[in-house]
Amino acid sequence: MRPIKQLTLPLALVLVVAACTADNEPTATPAQTPAATASVSPTLEAAATTGLPAAGALAPVVATDPRPAPELVDLINPDGSAFDLTAYAGNPTLLFFGYTHCPDVCPATIGELYGVFEEAPQTQAVFVSVDPERDTPEFLTEWTQYMHDNFDAVTGTPGAIRRAADDYGVKYARVETTSTAGYTMSHTADLYLIDEDGQLLITYPFGTPAAEIAADIDRL
């Protein structure tokens, strides 16, 4: 694998971000449940041990010491079978967390994924739902019916999803609203690039264009 260019700036970013997040305990927003607040510490701890850049970085962050992407333990495919991230080895895989009832952010990410599929057709995508109440296996079966062949969705028990999110430094919480559409989920909307060997390489912030991601994949 060719070395990824321009490691100096991302390295500085990772160090700065790691230093900032190690010292500052983020205050919980009113929308967060106590469970979400309690996950902050293990999230940071997980980030430190996996070498993951903290969520919400404004630029793609390249892992300086790539490690195996955290396994998504106890999650299930829409057909009920156990999800196995290692089965994606051999293909570059883009992973992100979201929910099907997300009308804006998740469709935007999916749009970029479709662009990546065009440019790098060997790429697979995995969507992990943070909303198992609505994103049941049955619902995901129908939802993915309309999706690109390379796009997979997984769900699980609330506990399994929380553990998986913690492993990736993903924060999420249920937000009650007065909207006709019902409750929403706030969630880290980063996109994680896992290479053919199962190494977590890059964390892309929400909004990263498909062309940039595809270029990184082509360089793998």
- Classify each residue of 143-170 as buried b or exposed e, where b means 16 or more C-beta atoms within 10 Å of its C-beta: bbeebeebbbbbbbeeebbbbbbbbbbb
Smallest gap from Cβ 178 to another protein, in A, equals 7
Smallest gap from Cβ 193 to another protein, in A, equals 16
> Closest Cα partner for 199 from 68, 103, 34, 18?
68
User: Residue 191 corresponds to which tokens in the numbers above?
Assistant: 């996109």
| Residue 29 found at the interface with another protein (CB under 8 A) | yes
Q: Return d(Cα 15, Cα 17) in angstroms, integer.
A: 5
| Residue 100 found at the interface with another protein (CB under 8 A) | yes
- Where in 146-165 is the site for another protein (CB under 8 A)? 146, 148-149
| Residue 51 found at the interface with another protein (CB under 8 A) | no
- Where in 183-212 is the site for another protein (CB under 8 A)? 184, 186-190, 206-207, 209-211
Q: Return d(Cα 63, Cα 49) in angstroms, integer.
A: 12
Only segment of 4-12, 54-62, 68-76, 194-202 that touches another protein (CB under 8 A)? 54-62
Among 5, 59, 86, 103, binds another protein (CB under 8 A): 103
| Residue 67 found at the interface with another protein (CB under 8 A) | no
Q: Would you call 174 helix, strand, or coil by DSSP?
A: strand
Residue 100: which residues within 8 A CB-CB, separation 6 or more? Answer: 106, 129, 131, 134, 135, 139, 140, 143, 153
Binding site for another protein (CB under 8 A): 26-27, 29, 31, 40, 54-57, 77, 79, 81, 100-105, 107-108, 110-112, 114-116, 118-119, 142-146, 148-149, 171-173, 175, 177-181, 184, 186-190, 206-207, 209-211
